[in-house]
Amino acid sequence: MAPLTGAGCQSPRGTSHATPSVERVPKGDGPREQGVVARRSWRSRRSLLRLAVAPAVGLVPVLAGIAPTHASALGLDESPGTGATSVSFVAVSGWGFTGTTAVDFGATPALAVDVLDDTHLMAVSPPGTAPVDVSVTTAAGTSTPTSSDVYTYTNPPQLSGLSPPTGPVGGGTTLVITGRFFTGVTSVIVGGKAASFTVNSPTQITAITPSHGKGVVTVVVTTAGGTTPHKSPAAKFTYTAT
C-alpha cells in the first residue's frame, strides 16, 4: 500500500506521512508526552484505515430471519376477492446479500426479488404447500437452512359451487359443496346457522341445510387455514317458499 502523504508529520524513520490528529494534553505536560499521544493516535488511525479498505468478498450469505413467516398457499394466479392473498411480500434479513442471484422458497424461485442492501432484501413468495426453507444464493454460495428461515404456507378453503343452489325454507336439503382445501373442516355455516356436514374429499363436502327464512344466503366453510369468502357468487344459496 502506498504511503499516505501530507505535511507536518515525520515517522520515526524520517518518512513523510499524513498529519495525524494530536489529542490535546493538559497544560504543563511536556513535548515528550505530546509525542506519545500523537504516535498512539497515528497507530489507531492506520489500523482503522486497514479495516475500512478490506473488501468483504467471498462471504456465503446468511439468513437471520424472515417476516412474515406464514402466508397464503395461493399465489399471484389468484384473483382479488377470492379469499386468497394475491401477493405475499417477505422481508429477509441477514448478511452477504450483495450480488444475489436467486432467492428460493424450498425448490421454487421467488416471483420477484429486490435487494435493498447487503443485509436486507424483499421477495415475493411463490405458491406452495408444505413448510419450506427460504434460501439466498450469490456467487459465493447458498445460505445454510436454519430454523430462522422456515416459511409456512396455509391453505384457506375455496368454494367453487353449490348443488343444488336452492332449497326450501324448512331446510333438510342435501347440499353438495365443491371447491378445494377442504382438509380439516371445522364448520359449515348456511345463512348464519351451523349445518351438519361430511367431508367427502379435499374438494367436496356434503351438508344438510338448516331451516331459514326466504331469500339468498351465504355458505361459509371454515378450516384451520381460514374461511371461504363471503362475497363470492359461488357461495350463494337461495331459500324458497316451496
140, 59 in Cβ contact below 8 A? yes
Tens digits of residue pLDDT in 61-90 = 999 999 988 776 655 444 333 333 446 889
Mean pLDDT of 127-142: 91
What values do phi and psi take at 51, rounded to 5? -65, -40
Q: Which carries the bigger pLDDT value, residue 6 or residue 99?
A: 99
**Where does 62-154 sit in CATH, by number?**
2.60.40.10
Given this chain, do its domains 62-154 and 158-240 carry the same CATH topology? yes
131, 152 in Cβ contact below 8 A? yes
Tens digits of residue pLDDT in 171-185 = 999 999 999 889 889
Which residues neighbour 139 within 8 Å (Cβ) at sequence distance 6 or greater?
Answer: 99, 101
In angstroms, the Cα distances linking 177 to 41, 79, 159, 165, 235 are: 79, 21, 7, 10, 9
| Mean pLDDT, the chain, whole residue set | 78
What is the spatial distance between Cα 206 and Cα 162, in angstroms, rounded to a whole number? 10
Q: Where are the domains of the chain?
A: 25-54, 62-154, 158-240
Domain spanning 158-240: CATH superfamily: Immunoglobulins (2.60.40.10)
What is the spatial distance between Cα 228 and Cα 204, in angstroms, rounded to a whole number? 14
- Using left for φ > 0, alpha for ψ between -120 and 50, and beta otherwise, residue 81 falls in left
Confidence of residue 156 (pLDDT cuts 50, 70, 90): confident
pLDDT of 48? 35
What percentage of the chain reaches a pLDDT higher than 90? 55
Of 183, 131, 127, which is closest to residue 157 (Cα–Cα)? 183
Confidence of residue 38 (pLDDT cuts 50, 70, 90): very low
| Weakest-pLDDT range from 8-22, 91-105, 167-181, 228-242 | 8-22
Own/partner pairs for 114-118, CB < 8 Å, 24+ apart? 118/56
Residue 199 above 80 pLDDT? yes
